[in-house]
Chains A and B, each alone.
Chain A
Amino acid sequence: MKTALLIDEDRVVRESLAQWLRQAGLAVIEAADGETGRDLALTHKPDLILCDQLAPRCNGFQLCRFLRARPGPHTRALFVLTTSGGYGVDRHGAVEAGADEYLVKPVLEQDLDRLLEKFRGSGNTTVFLPRPAKKGPGPSAPAGPGAIPPGPATVRFWGVRGSLPTPGPSTVHYGGNTSCVEVRADGQLIILDAGTGIRGLGLSLAAEFKGVPLSMTLLISHTHWDHIQGLPFFDAAYNPANRLRIVGYEGAQAGLHTALSSQMESPYFPVGFQQLPGHITIEEMKDASFFIGPVEVKTIFLNHPGVCVGYRLNTSGGAIAYLPDNEPFQRYKYHTGQPEIAGSTEFLRYAQRMDERLADFIRGSEVLILDSQYDLAEYQSRAGWGHGCVDDAVALAAQAEVKRLFLFHHDPSHNDEKITQMAEWGRAFVATLHVTMQVEAAREGLEVVLQPAPK
């Protein structure tokens, strides 16, 4: 009898797939995360592996590469990568990692039937190994001598632009630097992404702390250029007394370390990553939650090409959620699916569930920094590019009872006037929803102070 291994965080997805697979006569084993899946693959040597591209703890690309690189019978398994997105670049990445098939979720029964023609058998055994969740605080930033003075939590924008830095007179109000947000909370200095805005942050830190050693954590959402290109110009990384902890997730093609250090290699950059004198560590996270000092960090995979995460920082002053690149599932599915499938109940229910997951993640946050690159009209011609529009950003934030929404990842072709109009449009939309949420366009240099919660 042939065995299928099913790896997906989503229980609902696992259940329906498992049922179909059993009906087709396969033995099914399940895992809710990639690491468990990997262990099961090694011990059970399944004939078919269906693994979610964004499985926690070990993503589908990683697992496929890992298995394909090993000698032995499990390398024979038919490896099927499943994805909620289905971006072209990810399909390409799946093939490069060695996957045989790439299925876009929700996987329908006919997709599976086609796949199962190669697998015929009988019997039924199920092994389900849930992995015990890690308890308690995770690793935190090394306590440095130059700790951040106590005070209310603050959020400061250093780069708000998407795709490419856009200098010029038409962007001086909101700013043309790519993604970088500084958060100070509970004695921690946390930097969200390292677009070109991090250059200004580095200069400002040097002026503020005047050589006093600093300890800071840089959270990387993903390694598209506009989120890492400023790192080689981050002054603080050139000070040997500073401690910089870089945290992110393994990407579709390579580890975080490789992705970050490759941009600092000949023939692209004259100073190598290893030559940076600052004390720099790179950590690839597996868990969906960890701590930076007392600040709890939660993560979620976003709908964007490659592996992209959003962060939620639970500080004493309230939660700060940062989702710089995201395309809402319902829109995406509606625009990119085949029309007959896009209208199906399964399809709609799945997309809805994915968006609800996102709403739960940001629910009740004080500050939400959210991809709102396009207006609704522009979005129509850019569906499937991995970015959202103002209308959807406002709707999502309002649904999740967010206090302040900052429109983020401004389009390079939008000038200050256009961005102001988009923020106004967002506010007008909020008014019709009868909620009190504030909507603003993120602006370079803007500082937001979070009021500490009453004791």
Chain B
Amino acid sequence: MKTGLVINEDREFRRAVASWLKERDWTVLEAEERGTGLELSRQHPPQLVLCDLLKPRGNGPQFCRDLHQLDPANPCVIIATGNGYAPERFHSLEAGADEYLARPLDFEKFSAILARRSGAPPAAAAGPGPAPGSARLKFWGVRGSIPTPGPGTAYYGGNTACVEVRVGEDIIILDSGSGIRPLGRALAAEFKSQPIHLSVLITHTHWDHIQGFPFFMPAYDPKNQITVVGFEGARQGLQSTLSSQMESPYFPITMHQMPGQVSIQEVKGLDFKVGAVPVRAQFLNHPGACTGYRLTTPGGDICYLPDVELSQRLRANPEEPAAMLDTEERKFASEQDLKVVEFIRDAEVLILDSQYNAAEYRAHIGWGHSCAEDSVAFAIQANVKRLFMFHHDPDHDDEEISRMVARARRTAARRNSPVLVEAAREGFELVLHPAGKNL
């Protein structure tokens, strides 16, 4: 018989859940708070824990780790309950909960989760490698323009653009801003003496997207194979742009001298594959030649558009008011926007430039970046499931970014959109399960 544990200070709630579970042949344990709950779990390892809200910065993560480690052969599913606000849900999942349910409990949803979970092991217990058929995504650098160290950025992070995606055996790194340095160290620690094969997809060659590469540890190990993939730039080829940053008088080791097997592949067509992962590219509105990528994974599609100014707004520049645009120009502008919408349509995850707030954007029209308000509108229009605001402004501290997220969520709520809005945060990891199984 399966054991379930209900932790909640609300006695009525515990009773209701317990009786529902008992009807379905569960043994039910009850606890008022987590400490007692954990004690009970050690005596009778449960397959299900229903607990109150978890917070990533409290002892929530440790609590989840403890539960997940109780009985590896019979992993435990943790369901957090709360009032249903998006941040609660996000924070709970971030802390290590497998699922999130709003109170009052919708028993139909509860039942669906139990049915689904009884088939598949919970994600958090899957270990370091992604379970077959799922994809994993981790942020290593989320900042735009220039790395911004300091106490004001310690939560969201100050490293420039770098996102790791794992699909099956494939390791794909999106951009090599300064975030690729800690990623390189993590890979070296994970693979130890095993060779690493990976691809780095470059969106464009502004500093904040390439500056970390000279410090990417796997490129200094001869057994590793690194393929850098991107498009030819506005002024010169990808090879010369990338290798120029590693030349005297700027850097003491040339790209050629890196001991790893580093190759550079300039792609021409917009549809290609990286390993087994189908990739589609789209040129974006940003100074120079900048691309966005859409990666198709068994866990859903991941779209990465780190630098883009949504062009309709560019056209509506105060210097050149939209009213003054002729029909032809307006048509062109909205067609450009539609292309982006189509490119990101129905994506599971969208990582999108949201550098400014609306007020700041008015002073930065034409700089090639978008404001959070526009990003949310595009995500909603394209029916995206999860939006990660990206390319945080160097002048924004953690508090400002949190406020921007809150505003963006209110925007989504006003428009009755189910899109989950978050600010990308260094170290945050997301597992994407095969289609339909993500919350």
Chain A contact residues, CB within 8 Å of chain B:
87-90, 92-93, 161, 163-169, 171-172, 175-177, 196, 199-200, 203, 222-225, 228-230, 232-233, 251-254, 259, 263, 265-270, 305-307, 385-386, 412-413, 444
Q: How would residues 387 to 408 of chain B score, 1 for a CB under 8 Å from any chain A CB and 0 otherwise?
A: 0000000110000000000000
16 more contacts with CB within 8 A, not counting A166-B147, A268-B205, A270-B206, are: A88-B257, A164-B211, A164-B212, A166-B149, A167-B178, A168-B154, A168-B426, A172-B154, A196-B147, A229-B211, A263-B250, A266-B288, A268-B207, A270-B287, A270-B288, A444-B150
Closest beta carbon of chain A to B114's beta carbon, Å:
38
Q: Given the interface contacts A165-B158, A225-B250, does A263 sit within 8 Å of B207 by beta carbon?
A: yes
When distances are taken between beta carbons in the complex, the residues of chain B under 8 Å from A385 are 252
> Do residues B204 and A267 form an inter-chain contact, with CB atoms below 8 A?
yes
When distances are taken between beta carbons in the complex, the residues of chain A under 8 Å from B148 are 165, 167, 196, 199
Chain B contact residues, CB within 8 Å of chain A:
143, 145-151, 153-154, 157-159, 178, 181-182, 185, 204-207, 211-212, 215, 233-236, 241, 245, 247-254, 257, 287-289, 367-368, 394-395, 426
Q: Which 6 A-B pairs have the closest CB atoms?
A: A176-B149, A167-B158, A165-B147, A251-B249, A167-B149, A305-B252
The residue that B146 contacts in the complex, of A88, A89, A233, A386, with Cβ under 8 A, is A233
Q: Which residue of B lies closest to A174 (CB)?
A: B149
When distances are taken between beta carbons in the complex, the residues of chain A under 8 Å from B212 are 164
> Do residues B146 and A253 form an inter-chain contact, with CB atoms below 8 A?
no
A84 to B247, CA, bound (A): 21
A326 to B394, CA, bound (A): 31
A67 to B221, CA, bound (A): 40
Q: Which residue of B lies closest to A254 (CB)?
A: B249
Q: Which residue of B lies closest to A167 (CB)?
A: B158
A57 to B236, CA, bound (A): 35
> Do residues B206 and A168 form an inter-chain contact, with CB atoms below 8 A?
no
Q: Which residue of B lies closest to A197 (CB)?
A: B149
Q: Which residue of B lies closest to A176 (CB)?
A: B149
A254 to B249, CA, bound (A): 8
When distances are taken between beta carbons in the complex, the residues of chain A under 8 Å from B215 are 163-164, 412
A126 to B338, CA, bound (A): 79
Closest beta carbon of chain B to A159's beta carbon, Å:
9
When distances are taken between beta carbons in the complex, the residues of chain B under 8 Å from A169 are 154
When distances are taken between beta carbons in the complex, the residues of chain A under 8 Å from B146 are 165, 196, 199, 229-230, 232-233
> Do residues A165 and B252 form an inter-chain contact, with CB atoms below 8 A?
no
> Do residues B250 and A167 form an inter-chain contact, with CB atoms below 8 A?
no
> Do residues B250 and A269 form an inter-chain contact, with CB atoms below 8 A?
no
> Do residues B150 and A266 form an inter-chain contact, with CB atoms below 8 A?
no
When distances are taken between beta carbons in the complex, the residues of chain A under 8 Å from B245 are 225, 268
> Do residues A167 and B153 form an inter-chain contact, with CB atoms below 8 A?
yes
Closest beta carbon of chain A to B155's beta carbon, Å:
8
List 26 A–B pairs whose Cβ atoms lie within 8 Å, in order of A's numbering: A88-B252, A89-B254, A161-B149, A165-B146, A165-B147, A165-B149, A165-B178, A166-B149, A166-B178, A167-B148, A167-B154, A167-B426, A168-B157, A168-B182, A176-B149, A203-B395, A222-B249, A224-B249, A224-B252, A225-B211, A253-B247, A254-B249, A266-B287, A268-B245, A270-B368, A306-B252
> Do residues B149 and A306 form an inter-chain contact, with CB atoms below 8 A?
no
> Do residues A269 and B206 form an inter-chain contact, with CB atoms below 8 A?
yes
A222 to B154, CA, bound (A): 30
| Residue among A90, A176, A263, A444 having the largest count of chain B Cβ atoms under 10 Å | A176
> Do residues B248 and A253 form an inter-chain contact, with CB atoms below 8 A?
yes
> Do residues A89 and B288 form an inter-chain contact, with CB atoms below 8 A?
no
Q: Which residue of B lies closest to A445 (CB)?
A: B150
| Residue among B145, B248, B253, B395 having the largest count of chain A Cβ atoms under 10 Å | B248
Q: Which residue of A lies closest to B145 (CB)?
A: A233
Closest beta carbon of chain B to A150's beta carbon, Å:
31
Closest beta carbon of chain B to A156's beta carbon, Å:
15
> Do residues B147 and A167 form an inter-chain contact, with CB atoms below 8 A?
yes
When distances are taken between beta carbons in the complex, the residues of chain A under 8 Å from B234 are 266-267
> Do residues A223 and B235 form an inter-chain contact, with CB atoms below 8 A?
no
> Do residues A267 and B143 form an inter-chain contact, with CB atoms below 8 A?
no
A267 to B234, CA, bound (A): 7
A222 to B206, CA, bound (A): 22
Closest beta carbon of chain B to A62's beta carbon, Å:
12
> Do residues B252 and A92 form an inter-chain contact, with CB atoms below 8 A?
no
> Do residues A306 and B248 form an inter-chain contact, with CB atoms below 8 A?
yes
When distances are taken between beta carbons in the complex, the residues of chain B under 8 Å from A266 are 233-235, 287-288
When distances are taken between beta carbons in the complex, the residues of chain A under 8 Å from B150 are 167, 172, 175-177, 200, 444
> Do residues A225 and B205 form an inter-chain contact, with CB atoms below 8 A?
no
The residue that B250 contacts in the complex, of A161, A176, A223, A444, with Cβ under 8 A, is A223
> Do residues A167 and B233 form an inter-chain contact, with CB atoms below 8 A?
no
When distances are taken between beta carbons in the complex, the residues of chain B under 8 Å from A229 are 146, 207, 211
A196 to B206, CA, bound (A): 16
Closest beta carbon of chain B to A285's beta carbon, Å:
16
When distances are taken between beta carbons in the complex, the residues of chain B under 8 Å from A232 are 146
The residue that A168 contacts in the complex, of B158, B185, B204, B288, with Cβ under 8 A, is B158
Q: Which residue of B lies closest to A87 (CB)?
A: B252
When distances are taken between beta carbons in the complex, the residues of chain A under 8 Å from B248 are 89-90, 92-93, 251-253, 305-306
A89 to B146, CA, bound (A): 27
> Do residues A268 and B158 form an inter-chain contact, with CB atoms below 8 A?
no
When distances are taken between beta carbons in the complex, the residues of chain A under 8 Å from B154 are 167-169, 172
The residue that B206 contacts in the complex, of A92, A230, A268, A413, with Cβ under 8 A, is A268
When distances are taken between beta carbons in the complex, the residues of chain B under 8 Å from A223 are 249-250
A184 to B34, CA, bound (A): 56
When distances are taken between beta carbons in the complex, the residues of chain A under 8 Å from B257 are 88
Closest beta carbon of chain B to A341's beta carbon, Å:
24
Closest beta carbon of chain A to B23's beta carbon, Å:
47
A268 to B178, CA, bound (A): 15
A305 to B395, CA, bound (A): 34
A176 to B233, CA, bound (A): 31
> Do residues A386 and B252 form an inter-chain contact, with CB atoms below 8 A?
yes
Closest beta carbon of chain A to B289's beta carbon, Å:
8
When distances are taken between beta carbons in the complex, the residues of chain A under 8 Å from B151 are 172
When distances are taken between beta carbons in the complex, the residues of chain B under 8 Å from A305 are 248, 252
When distances are taken between beta carbons in the complex, the residues of chain B under 8 Å from A89 are 248, 252-254
A148 to B254, CA, bound (A): 42
| Residue among B207, B212, B233 having the largest count of chain A Cβ atoms under 10 Å | B207
Closest beta carbon of chain A to B426's beta carbon, Å:
7
Closest beta carbon of chain B to A142's beta carbon, Å:
27
The residue that B147 contacts in the complex, of A90, A176, A259, with Cβ under 8 A, is A176
The residue that B159 contacts in the complex, of A167, A230, A307, with Cβ under 8 A, is A167
A223 to B250, CA, bound (A): 6
A172 to B152, CA, bound (A): 9
A175 to B153, CA, bound (A): 12
Q: Which residue of B lies closest to A96 (CB)?
A: B248
When distances are taken between beta carbons in the complex, the residues of chain B under 8 Å from A444 are 149-150
Closest beta carbon of chain A to B308's beta carbon, Å:
14
Q: Given the interface contacts A171-B149, A175-B150, A412-B215, does A252 sit within 8 Å of B249 by beta carbon?
A: yes
When distances are taken between beta carbons in the complex, the residues of chain B under 8 Å from A254 are 249
When distances are taken between beta carbons in the complex, the residues of chain B under 8 Å from A268 are 205-207, 241, 245
Closest beta carbon of chain A to B214's beta carbon, Å:
8
When distances are taken between beta carbons in the complex, the residues of chain A under 8 Å from B395 are 203
When distances are taken between beta carbons in the complex, the residues of chain B under 8 Å from A386 are 252
When distances are taken between beta carbons in the complex, the residues of chain B under 8 Å from A265 are 235
> Do residues B143 and A306 form an inter-chain contact, with CB atoms below 8 A?
no
| Residue among A171, A268, A269, A305 having the largest count of chain B Cβ atoms under 10 Å | A268
A23 to B283, CA, bound (A): 68
> Do residues B207 and A259 form an inter-chain contact, with CB atoms below 8 A?
no
